[in-house]
Amino acid sequence: MTREMRGTASACSNIALIKYWGKRDFTDNIPLNGSLSMTLSQATTTTTVIWDDTLSQDEIYLDGERVLDGRGLRVSRYLDRIRADYYRMPARVASMNSFPAGTGIASSASGFAALATAAFAAMGEEMPSDTEMTRWARRGSGSACRSIHGGFVEWLPGTSDADSTAVQLAGEDFWDLRDLVVLVSRAPKAISSSEGHKIATRHPFMAARQELLPARMLATKGAVAARDLMTLGALVEQEALEMHAIMMSGQPAALYMQPGTLKLLHAIRAWREDGLPVFFTLDAGPNVHVLCESRDAPEVRARIEQLMPGLSILENRAGPGVRVHEDHLL
Ligand code: DP6
């Protein structure tokens, strides 16, 4: 008998305010420390999975193109983990990003949150709990566990596959914080985040970072709970620069910042001196995430456009968690 089972899910990417950089375990993506993120409303991946026992192997389509390279292999390896516990049949998978690929916006976070959810939705049985889905997303890409939830999310690091899960701290309507992602450079990364995690894990500064992180995490959670941007912003900038200090001084070293990155970081600090409450964070790349209150977003956008004309800016608010729906791609 031929069986075909289809499911579709959409998930938003997220920006880490406290970073996941360094792993305790590389198979299950168990992090060295907890992290905290905001889900990003405007950076969405939609994925359809069809389990199909008439296929001889997986067929993976990303942004409309069949992929046969490492990206397709990563998806197939991931599906193997689901197959080990559930259906043993091949799958046809299609995935579309709302944002252009290769811009440095983390597509693995939204990508694996959507893939995990679509894969389970396609089984046509009761979905696992949200907590269990954070485990499944994390096994694909660590940061993806935070994209299962909307709003503000904490990844409780745990020490094993069973206890490393993500929880929602506040929903997407809790605080109308904005993250304007400024696409400073589209140059491909010299060092992937997977490689970066390995370099970070053996970095001599990592022990000191682990000692000071619990206090920073507590203060960051307090600042989110109080919707206190001045406190949050100071913590988040320190955190981003600390991560980049580890990146820049690792073996091999990763210099993700470009001239445009630094130009914008200095401008943000100058605007703040001027009285505009605006802060930055960075991912493993040159793009700048500019954080401000919604009422200041038009002014912040105008200043960025004046400083660096022509750059794309993607303005996010806190986005929703992953959702299953019927707008199938296949
Ligand atoms: C700098 O989640 O992409 O964005 O688990 O190997 O897939 P893998 O890594 P990934 O790492 C994200 C690193 C970061 C910080 C963060 O999102 O917390």
Q: Write out the two tokens for 101.
A: 């690929």
Tell whether 160 is covered by a domain: yes
Q: Round to whole Å and give the CA distance between 235 and 115.
A: 32
217 shares a domain with 310: yes
Tell whether 197 is covered by a domain: yes
Centre of ligand 1 from the C-alpha of residue 19, in Å: 8
Q: How many domains does the chain have?
A: 2
214 shares a domain with 163: no
Atom of ligand 1 nearest to the CA of 243: 1
220 shares a domain with 166: no
Q: Is the pLDDT of residue 23 over 90?
A: yes
148 shares a domain with 11: yes
229-248 helix and 206-225 helix, angle to the nearest 10 degrees: 160
Q: Round to whole Å and give the CA distance between 133 and 126.
A: 12
The DSSP code for 286 is: S
Top mutation candidate among 197, 236, 244 for ligand 1, by most atoms within 8 Å of CB:
197
Residue 127: C-alpha distances to residues 45, 118, 133, 171 (Å): 19, 10, 9, 21
User: Measured on CA atoms in the order 321, 323, 329, 330, is the torsion positive or negative?
Assistant: positive
64 shares a domain with 39: yes
Do the Cβ atoms of 164 and 156 come closer than 8 Å? yes
Atom of ligand 1 nearest to the CA of 197: 6
115 shares a domain with 199: no
218 shares a domain with 139: no
Q: Write out the two tokens for 213.
A: 């992180």
Q: Is the bond leading into 252 cis (omega within 30 degrees of zero)? A: yes
pLDDT the model gives residue 1: 46
157 shares a domain with 200: no
Tell whether 101 is covered by a domain: yes
Dihedral, 76, 164, 104, 229 alpha carbons, nearest 10: 160
Tell whether 167 is covered by a domain: yes
Q: Round to whole Å and give the CA distance between 122 and 49.
A: 6
pLDDT the model gives residue 4: 66
Tens digit of each residue's pLDDT (9 = 90 or more) over 171-218: 999 999 999 999 998 877 888 889 999 999 999 999 999 999 999 999
What is the domain-level CATH number for residue 92?
Answer: 3.30.230.10
207 shares a domain with 79: no
Q: Across the chain, what does the average pLDDT equal?
A: 95
Tell me the residue range of the domain where 299 lies.
177-316
Tens digit of each residue's pLDDT (9 = 90 or more) over 27-44: 999 999 999 999 999 999
In short, whether 99's Cβ falls inside 6 Å of ligand 1 is no
In short, whether 107's Cβ falls inside 6 Å of ligand 1 is no
State pTM to two decimals. 0.97
CB burial of 181-212 (b: ≥16 within 10 Å; e: otherwise) equals bbbbbeeeeebebeebbbbbbebeebeebeee
What is the domain-level CATH number for residue 201?
Answer: 3.30.70.890
126 shares a domain with 29: yes
**CA angle (103 as vertex; 233, 243 as ends), nearest 5:** 40
**Span 48-65, mean pLDDT?**
95
pLDDT the model gives residue 14: 97
10 shares a domain with 134: yes
165 shares a domain with 191: no
Tell whether 330 is covered by a domain: no
